[in-house]
């Protein structure tokens, strides 16, 4: 039986569809990519049964493997890539949060490539997706840290995680009033007007910190008397991130 390397060098690969065999080169981009990724998954299975690595190191460079793939398929693919990375180095470029869902800061690294306002390329390296300990990374965390896309889900995660830490310090921080006092103690201004909806339909104006204002608006969509801007969501998220970083 020929070595697998020689097979790809000297042979050709045909795909059969309804009894008709055609060369892979004649198939569309989607089919070619699906085949390539399938081979990666097969190769990962082969590696799993090998006791030793090859004499020459192999590096995999894969550009946007999420293309044409359903999120569930992306999940299976990253499992295969993680298996391969136990023995060989794997580089991928991606815009998909699903491929980063199983990021492991102990063995993996994220480099973010982007451009500033002047069109100059720069790299932000060694980003770690481990804000929430064993529950990291979340989709909201990935989207914000890796892709710069904010969301109410990420704000909720930050607010809840930080409040849990505050409760560990003092059970009084379980209440909104107690946690507000805790946030103020961390330097967050309590200067936002919040209109609380009462049972009789009236409203009661209260002063809140920006994070609590946004948290309450998110959690109580039935109350249409308050609002926040995209800029305020960004500001609040950064406030919470700074607090969390100071806690760890």
All domains of the chain in start order, with CATH: 4-49+56-102 (3.40.50.300), 152-247 (no CATH)
Per-residue pLDDT band for 5 (boundaries 50, 70, 90) equals very low
Which whole number is the average pLDDT over 127-140? 84
- Alpha-carbon span 175 to 166, nearest angstrom: 11
Of the pLDDT bands very low, low, confident and very high (cuts 50, 70, 90), residue 126 is low
Which has the higher per-residue pLDDT, 115 or 8? 115
Distance CA 138, CA 237 (A): 15
The verdict on pTM exceeding 0.85 is no
What average pLDDT does this structure show over 43-54?
Answer: 65
Over range 41-60, report the average pLDDT.
69
Tens digit of pLDDT for each residue in 178-223?
A: 999 999 999 999 999 999 999 999 999 999 999 999 999 999 999 9
Provide mean pLDDT across the span 136-149.
Answer: 90
Contact 170, 178 (CB under 8 A): yes
- Classify residue 123 as exposed, middle or buried by CB count within 10 Å of its CB (0-12, 13-18, 19+): exposed
DSSP assignment, residue 26?
G
Which pLDDT band, with edges at 50, 70 and 90, does 4 fall under? very low
Least confident of 53-62, 64-73, 180-189: 53-62
Higher-confidence position of 9 and 179? 179
For residue 71, the number of C-alpha atoms closer than 13 Å in the C-beta half-sphere is 7
Which residue spans within 106-217 are E strands per DSSP? 110-115, 121-127, 192-197, 203-208
């Amino acid at each position: 039986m020929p070595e697998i390397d020689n097979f790809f060098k000297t042979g050709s690969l045909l795909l059969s569809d309804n009894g008709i065999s055609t060369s892979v080169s004649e198939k569309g981009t989607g089919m070619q990519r699906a085949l390539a990724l399938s081979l990666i998954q097969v190769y990962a299975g082969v590696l799993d049964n090998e006791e030793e690595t090859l004499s020459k190191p192999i590096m995999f460079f894969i550009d946007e493997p999420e293309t044409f793939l359903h999120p569930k398929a992306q999940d299976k693919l990253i499992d295969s890539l993680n298996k391969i990375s136990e023995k060989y180095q794997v580089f991928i470029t991606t815009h998909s949060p699903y491929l980063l869902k199983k990021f492991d800061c102990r063995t993996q690294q994220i480099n973010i490539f982007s451009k500033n306002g002047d069109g100059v390329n720069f790299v932000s390296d060694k980003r770690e997706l481990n804000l929430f300990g064993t529950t990291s990374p979340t989709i909201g965390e990935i989207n914000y840290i890796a892709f710069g896309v904010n969301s109410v889900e990420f704000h909720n995660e930050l607010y809840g995680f930080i409040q849990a830490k505050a409760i560990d310090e003092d059970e009084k921080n379980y209440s909104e009033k107690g946690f507000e006092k805790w946030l103020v103690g961390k330097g967050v201004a309590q200067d936002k007007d919040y209109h609380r909806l009462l049972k009789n339909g009236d409203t009661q104006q209260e002063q809140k910190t920006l994070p609590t204002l946004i948290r309450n608006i998110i959690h109580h969509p039935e109350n249409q008397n308050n609002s926040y801007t995209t800029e305020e969501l960004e500001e609040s998220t950064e406030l919470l991130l700074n607090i969390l970083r100071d806690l760890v």
